[in-house]
Amino acid sequence: MEQPQRVLIGIGGGIAAYKVCEVISTLFKAGMQVRVILTDSAKQFITPLTVATLARHPAYTDADFWQPHERPLHIELGEWGDVFLIAPLTANTLAKLSYGIADNLLTNTVLASKCPVLLAPAMNTEMWQQVAVQRNWQQLLTDTRFHGLAPGYGLLACDRIGAGRMAEPAEIVTGVQSLLHTGGERDLLGKRVLISAGGTREYLDAVRFIGNPSTGKMGLALAQAALHRGAIVTLVHAPIEESVPPGIRAIAVVNAEQMQQAMLENFPDADLTVMSAAVADVKPAAYSSEKLPKRSLPEQLLLAPVPDIVAELGRRKQLHQRLIGFAAQTGDIITPARQKLAQKKLDAIVANPIDKADVGFGSNFNAAIFLDFHGRQVEISQCSKLQLAHHLFDFVHGL
């Protein structure tokens, strides 16, 4: 059996500490081992008993730091973790880490560890925007060990609306999962990655359209994975169910023609393009800007073709660019994927089985077979869509 992944979490003294409870619970339910360190100020917002209950392991505090141990506690913890999450990261702890100060269990453990560290700051807008705080933040991120989830914009506990809101638990969990896969390596650092997502809608009238069940979850996972690996990410998405995380440039479209325009405009600057959107094959030949009465609906719907976006991208692809396609299929998924790989001039393709339980459209999970123009073939069994995204980028790295 594989060793469970181990996540060390440091909680700072801020009201956002309550959000970390969801992070701990989610990671534990995903089968990970979790250990938690609370600073003295963190205990003013959340109790050791709370996090110990959620992690199924006693929480560590500065009181434990000064107790005798067989080996120093900060050394044991620093060697134990595969990923170290600090959330909320306060201005105080940020300043200490940026200058290598170690005066409590949390900061000593950071210096005694080698694993990647994920930082999720949270503070009042005025505090976050201080020159000293921004200097410390930028300085810390020059160390490749540290990975940042910049705070978002919203209503803060001080009733101020502005920057400083800690990243939401789901975004933090995704960041942890990415680091567990990559070990903190940024193999796409500085690369421009263009991704399409979601199912396009081809409207008959103001309310009716031809579409498909795609929710855009796979495309979002690809965008997050690329971002976590250091890429500059642009996501062109049809209507999707989830919000696009911060740090990703998002371009919203509805139909295939709009998606084609956005993809063609951004394609020349892209080093890697992943066409994961489920683009419609046809559209109604006629469109009404008003809702048609039921009696006026045609008995036979005339259809017209829509642009073949990935084929056009294949024709325009330059030598330095890589183009990845998706092929959602039932039955034999490899033969049509190989044909599409060659016909569309792709560098690689993801063959998706959509006739299996709990994979593909709408699911949080996926399975696939990766094929490339060299003849390589790799099968990925059912896993989360974020994991599949990372497996794909690992595969593409071989190109």
**What does pTM read for this prediction?**
0.94
348 vs 115: CA distance, rounded Å: 32
Statement: residue 261 has pLDDT above 80: yes
Instruction: Summarize the confidence of residues 358-374 as an average pLDDT.
Output: 91
pLDDT-derived band at 158, boundaries 50, 70, 90: confident
Q: What is the mean pLDDT of residues 140-168?
A: 90
pLDDT at 1 over 80: no
Which residues belong to the annotated binding site?
Answer: 281, 291, 307-310, 326, 340, 344
Mean pLDDT of 146-164: 87
Q: Which CATH class is domain 6-182?
A: alpha beta
Mind telling me the catalytic residues?
158
Percent of the chain with pLDDT over 90: 88
pLDDT tens-digit readout, 244-257: 988 999 999 999 99
Do 6-182 and 192-397 have matching folds?
A: yes
Contact status, residue 279 vs residue 305, Cβ threshold 8 Å: no
Tokens standing for residue 119: 């930082």
Is the backbone of residue 164 left (phi > 0), alpha (psi -120 to 50) or beta? Answer: left
Paired with 366 in beta bridges are: 383
Average pLDDT on 318-325 reads 97
Whole-Å CA distances, 208 to 44, 123, 138, 205, 228: 54, 46, 49, 5, 38
State how far the Cα of 18 lies from the Cα of 40, in Å rounded to an integer. Answer: 15
The DSSP result for 95-114, as a single string, is HHHHTT---SHHHHHHHT--
Of 152, 65, 56, 160, the closest CA to residue 109 belongs to 65
**Confidence bin at 68 (pLDDT 50/70/90):** confident
Domain ranges of the chain: 6-182, 192-397
**Percent of the residues in the chain that have a pLDDT greater than 70, as a whole number:** 99
pLDDT in tens, 104-118: 999 999 999 999 999
In whole angstroms, how far apart are CA 51 and each of 9, 10, 35, 82, 174?
Answer: 10, 11, 9, 19, 20
Q: Please provide the DSSP assignment of 147-211 as one string.
A: EE---EEEE-TTS-EEEEEPPPHHHHHHHHHHHHHHTT--TTTT-EEEEEESB--EESSSS-EE-
Average pLDDT, the chain: 95
Q: Which CATH class is domain 192-397?
A: alpha beta
- Output the pLDDT for position 357: 82
Higher per-residue confidence, 17 vs 69: 17
Amino acid at 258: Q
Could you tell me the pLDDT band of residue 362, with boundaries at 50, 70 and 90?
confident
318 pLDDT band, cuts 50/70/90, is very high
Residues flagged as binding site for CTP: 281, 291, 307-310, 326, 340, 344
Band of residue 186 on the pLDDT scale cut at 50, 70, 90: very high
